[in-house]
Structure 1
Amino acid sequence: MVPDLRKQFNAAFTPERYQALLEWVEKQYNHRPPFRIAETPVFIPDDLKAKLFEACDQITDVIVSPDFEERSRSALLAGQEVPNETPHTTFLQMDFGICQEADGTLTPQLIEVQGFPSLYFFQDLVARGYREIYDIPEGYSHLFGGLTSETYLEKLRQVIIGDHDPEEVILLEVEPDKQVTGIDFIAAKHMIGIESVCVSEVKVEGRKVFYFKEGRKIQVRRIFNRVIFDELIRRDDLKREFYFIHEHDVEYVGHPNWFFRISKHTLPLIDSPYVPKSYFLNELETLPEDLHNYVLKPLYSFAGTGVIININQHDVDAIKDPENYILQRKVTYAPVIETPGEPSKCEIRMLMLWERGAPRPVMVNNLARLSKGLMVGVRYNRDKDWVGGSVGFFKV
């Protein structure tokens, strides 16, 4: 999106360099991610950077407001509330579709906001890969606030491990070795020294929590939670002793309740030019006349499941639990990234950290996703090139 840099990149691009990128990523930890890494990073122009920052600030204002805890209480599902909730989320991320105004200027539009960790480790890794293989200008960075890869990883170490022994901190997931995002867990182990543990392998004795490492029984003091409840509930085949809703002598970094509190449930609470109008379906007395300009989203689903793009009155009438749905105005992604074929659309996820005692979260990193399909996602981009996971480089 920075025209000069885009032209230079595309002119210098070769399939061999792309293969070198994939091989470089795989070589770091002897693991090739199962998801597609895009051929190119995204070069973010200054005016779009300013809008992304402004949008993040406006959305953050809602989340840090004194009444947010009360306004988000109804997002917590009965029987799934986890004890010992932290005063605020630790991880915050905002997904923006990059759109185009009538005058051609680019603008971000919020797709989703999440109080849950994303690929904080892999995004630093892949950004270094792009820089290693391609000619990325020195004056551009994927990190914010003057962070370098070294200081960024140190910040993650402090946030996730703190003063604990790294062996007493675990990354908790459902079968982490089978997750598509497993590269992030492997990177976390190499970068800050924490083990990934399946929820079925955690042992409970009274209030104490343990796991086994190389035959040694180790007490868990802190959990870096990566478990998506939606997935865990479906996995009734997993035999386990650990249940989130029980009282345990552990602290969470990334408390599970914030996954629900900061989610699609938050969207109707935000009033910003960067946030499409959203409504709780059960609170709408009359539907918008231009219903075709909206999408119907279930509050409690993940990775786009259950979303109805082209809705009509019949779809709405068929909903038996309207309190669990929102109606969100459609966002039209602009094909703004020139490629050797058709241009790609782009989504930028801003990754934030909210440290203990800090008044607000701060932006630290980003993730980009490129698409040529109807939506951003694997099933809409099969057999396409210049699509997939990427990273944005911003002028420092």
Structure 2
Amino acid sequence: MTRVRWMWIVVAWLVATPATAQVLDGEWVRRSEQRIADARQTDLRVVVLDANDRAVVDAPVRVEQVRHDFPVGFTLRDTTWPSAYNADAPLWRVFNAIAIDGVTGWSAYDEADRDALAKVIQEARQRGMFVRWGGGIAADMARNPDWLSDVAADDQRLAIEAHARQIVQRYGWQVDQLDLYTHALDHDLIERRFGLPALRGLYEQARADSPNLKLGVRVHDRLVGDRLQELVRAITDWRHSFVPVDVVAIEQRVRGTLAQAPVERALSWLSELDVQVVLVGLEVGGVSDAAAAMNLETLLRLLFADENVGGIWFGDMSAEEVGTPYAELFDADGELTHGGQLVDRLFSELWWTDETLHTDELGNARTRVFAGTHRITAELGEGRSVEMTVHVPMDADERMVVVQEGF
């Protein structure tokens, strides 16, 4: 079957088929669901007791997910929230994380409104969102801020170190991740000018100033091909040189056709680096709207099924801003595209816990849930019920929750 004919079949199928949580099918898709369950779900045991500590038998127990632990986010280009943002609306409801790249880059930070930046971080925290700081220091000399060019060459290392410390000390306790070194591999400002020990010192100092902050290195379009191999070699060298990198942030744009096997192989290689991988500024397009949706589901499945992947942040999402053909999640009218609908359905329906169980003779109800926060409601009969909200971490062998009447 020719590629053109195959593509038209996919387009026709997308148009004719009612909205579902996925567009792909096949053996590898079914295998991916099992891998996702292994990587992202854990056991939950709910024990229902009455006010007298007696087990309640055959009680309906609803387990309703409130949010994922796995970060899925979008990127802020300034210190204002998107005008269309609505935490309860389709797609927006999926996002439990933000990246503030637009105002935290190597040169952009110096022009940022500090009060507005603090406010947007605070608002994100109040919404319970995971926050990524964008860039710290760029490896690309062309991106140097104006103030650095005014510093004497012999003093530039100290100036760069002071700049990094200012950011980490001020914001390191307010955000979760920071890409301390960006545009790495394509450029090498620190290594070439000052040596790898200087880079190690930057990371060690940042870790000392904010021990809980995850420190990243940011690279571009390195998920597949020869560029991936270069990334693996570089991070291996950094690890051997004791540069304490916690996260590799890959800013990725997908065009053309995305094949499942090479990406799966790439993620396997990256898992051997012993550092977490996150996707940032993500744009997934294709040769058509239908192809882009297929690429998007392929990538999201592979990422979510890999326990070494620690989060996904989309870049520009609107038709006016996105730079990759067919990668927009919102069309020109602000409506969800096929891709936007797909992301929403995957993370709010397919990869989401919402089920009703019944307790056994000992008052137990067991299931597997996606790691995150869940609302548990037990019906005790005669119009009586009890509700509580709990957190179920991924690293728990089994999370036991006691739901008791009167408490």
| TM-score normalized by the length of structure 1 | 0.30
Structure that is richer in helix per residue? 2
| TM-score normalized by the length of structure 2 | 0.30
